[in-house]
A and B are shown apart, each in its own frame.
Chain A
Amino acid sequence: RKEVEQDPGPFNVPEGATVAFNCTYSNSASQSFFWYRQDCRKEPKLLMSVYSSGNEDGRFTAQLNRASQYISLLIRDSKLSDSATYLCVVKFLSGTYKYIFGTGTRLKVLA
C-alpha cells in the first residue's frame, strides 16, 4: 500500500460546481497535512495546511479524519482558474521529519 494515495482523476466539473477530493495515508503517526496546487509544468504551491479541527479559506475547505486516516479538500463554486493538479502531502517523524507527496488529483473545470 502506498504511504499516500490519491485518485488521479481527472475530475471534469462545470463552472460553479462543488468538487471534493480525498487523500488516504497509511502512517498513523502522521503529524501534519497539506494541500498543494500544481499547475502544468510549474512548481507546487501551498494551498492550505490541514488542521484537526478543519479549516476554510474562501471557497476551499480542508478536513482531517485521523480515525479513518484521510484528508479531504472541498472546492465550492469552481472557477476555470481552479483547473490544476492538487497534491496531498503528509509529514511524519521517522528519525527525522519526512514529507510524503501523493501523485496528485487532476481537476478540470469546464466552461
Chain B
Amino acid sequence: DGGITQSPKYLFRKEGQNVTLSCEQNLNHDAMYWYRQDPGQGLRLIYYSQIVNDFQKGDIAEGYSVSREKKESFPLTVTSAQKNPTAFYLCASSIGQGVDGETQYFGPGTRLLVL
C-alpha cells in the first residue's frame, strides 16, 4: 500500500530534551511538509522540502530542524529551544509544488506531549 507513515503515534518529551519525529512516504512524491496543529487553530507550516537535500522554513520554524537526505524521508526534530511543543504534528507530501502536483496527502500524525 502506498502512503505516508509517521512514528511514533505518541511521543513524550522531557524538559530540555530533543526529540525526532519520523515521516516516510512511498508515493514517490518530491515535496514534503511538516505542520503543527493546535486546538482551535488551523494547521501551521513548520518546514517544507521541494526536493532531496533542500528544505525551507515555514511560518513557525523556530525551535525545529529537519533534514531531507532521502526522497522518502523527512524527519522533524523538536529541539529544547521550542518552548511550547505540545501539539499534533502532521507530515504531508505532494507530487511537486507546481499546479499539477498540488494535492497534499497527510500521514496519521504524532501527538507530542511534554512531561
Query: Which residues of A line the B interface, CB within 8 A?
Result: 4, 8, 31-32, 34, 41-46, 49, 87, 89, 91, 96-104
Q: Give the interface centre of A8, A31, A44, A100 by most chain B CB atoms within 10 Å.
A: A44
Residue of B nearest to A8 (CB): B40
Contact A43 B102 (CB under 8 A): no
Give 12 CB contacts A-B under 8 Å.
A43-B107, A43-B109, A45-B106, A46-B103, A46-B105, A87-B42, A89-B104, A96-B50, A101-B35, A101-B44, A102-B42, A103-B40
Q: Nearest Cβ distance between residue B21 and chain A, in whole angstroms?
A: 14
Q: A43-B90, A43-B109 are in contact. Are A32 and B102 (CB under 8 A)?
A: yes
| B109 nearest in chain A by CB position | A43
Choose from B50, B99, B106 the contact partner of A44 (Cβ within 8 Å): B106
Query: Do residues B41 and A103 form an inter-chain contact, with CB atoms below 8 A?
Result: yes
Chain A neighbourhood of B27, CB < 8 A: none
Q: Which residues from chain B contact A101 at a C-beta distance below 8 Å?
A: 35, 42-44
Give every chain A residue within 8 A of B102 (Cβ-Cβ): 32, 91, 97
What's the least CB distance linking A63 to chain B, in Å?
Answer: 19
The 6 closest A-B pairs by CB, nearest first: A101-B42, A43-B106, A101-B43, A103-B42, A97-B97, A43-B109
